[in-house]
């Protein structure tokens, strides 16, 4: 009984203190514990992404592979390779036997395969996907149809950010991504980096399998196009995507 009396008196004396404590807990739980009500914008495996509200639900990374800066160029990669090269030529391309008509993987026609090789693979496997290998499962290189969707469903404008030229793609939901311009390296001859942006898709040109598909935009021509005829050994940028939850 004595202990009960002591506790009762303590509670009566500290009513204001307890009320303040409960208010503090409530504030913490409605701020620090607050759930993200927009799960399609955020970070995955340490890399930021944005929801452009596109029909396919594709979530686009804010940076290229090889950088954590939206204005950073990142690294260049040959199609189907996961590490940058010192040179980008047929002779050192991982899936050719020294020639673009001697393919050893991703070949749909025997006349372009080494000793008539074909495998009918038309999309990069995860083990050859630059985005997946470098950023982890859940990230991948966009397909050509996802690039087409980006170009046709978003407006684009040429801009300069922190001294870097690029193309800003803005969606109807007002979210946007910035793609820095960076030219091709092929046969060790780079294009003018301040003028052209080139980005790989994961899609093979199945009619001419020594080519793969990608996005190219050229500021001087005010042009943004999808091309089918990029040599697979060329060094391009890679902008990862992930699927919405």
DSSP code of residue 210:
T
Give residue 229's pLDDT: 81
| CA atoms of 90 and 86, how far apart (whole Å) | 13
| CA atoms of 157 and 160, how far apart (whole Å) | 10
Task: Determine what percent of the chain is predicted with pLDDT higher than 90.
Answer: 64
Task: Reduce the DSSP state of residue 178 to 3 states and report it.
Answer: strand
Give residue 7's pLDDT: 41
Is residue 197 very low, low, confident or very high in pLDDT (cuts 50, 70, 90)? confident
pTM of the model: 0.81
Any bridge partners for residue 185, and if so which? 190, 235
Q: 11-58, pLDDT tens digit by residue?
A: 454 544 444 434 443 333 333 333 344 555 899 999 999 999 999 999
Asked whether 47 and 61 are in contact (CB, 8 A), the reply is: yes
Report how far apart, in Å, the C-alpha atoms of 207 and of each of 60, 106, 210 are. 28, 12, 9
Tell me: pLDDT of 147 over 90: yes
At residue 53, φ and ψ (nearest 5 deg) are: 70, 30
Token representation of residue 220: 């001087």
Is residue 227 very low, low, confident or very high in pLDDT (cuts 50, 70, 90)? low
DSSP code of residue 60:
E
Q: Which helix (H) or strand (E) holds 112?
A: none
Burial status of residue 234 (CB atoms within 10 A of its CB: 0-12, 13-18, 19 or more): buried
| Mean pLDDT in residue range 8-12 | 47
């Amino acid at each position: 009984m004595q202990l009960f009396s002591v506790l009762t008196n303590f509670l009566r004396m500290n009513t204001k203190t307890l009320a303040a404590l409960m208010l503090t807990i409530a504030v913490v739980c409605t701020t620090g514990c607050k759930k993200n009500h927009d799960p399609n914008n955020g970070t995955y495996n340490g890399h930021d992404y944005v929801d452009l509200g596109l029909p396919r639900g594709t979530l686009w990374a804010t940076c290229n592979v090889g950088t954590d800066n939206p204005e950073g160029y990142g690294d260049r990669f040959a199609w189907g390779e996961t590490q940058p090269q010192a040179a980008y030529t047929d002779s050192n391309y991982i899936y050719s036997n020294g020639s673009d008509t001697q393919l050893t993987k991703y070949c749909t026609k025997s006349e372009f395969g080494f000793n008539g090789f074909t495998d009918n693979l038309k999309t990069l496997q995860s083990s050859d996907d630059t985005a997946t290998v470098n950023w982890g499962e859940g990230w991948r290189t966009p397909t050509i149809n996802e690039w087409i969707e980006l170009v046709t469903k978003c407006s684009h404008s040429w801009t300069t950010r922190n001294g870097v030229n690029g193309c800003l793609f803005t969606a109807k939901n007002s979210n946007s991504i910035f793609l820095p311009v960076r030219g091709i390296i092929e046969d060790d001859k780079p294009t003018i980096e301040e003028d052209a942006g080139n980005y790989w898709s994961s899609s093979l040109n199945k009619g001419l399998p020594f080519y793969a598909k990608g996005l190219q935009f050229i500021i001087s021509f005010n042009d943004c196009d999808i091309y089918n005829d990029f040599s697979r050994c060329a060094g391009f940028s890679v902008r990862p995507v992930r699927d919405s939850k």
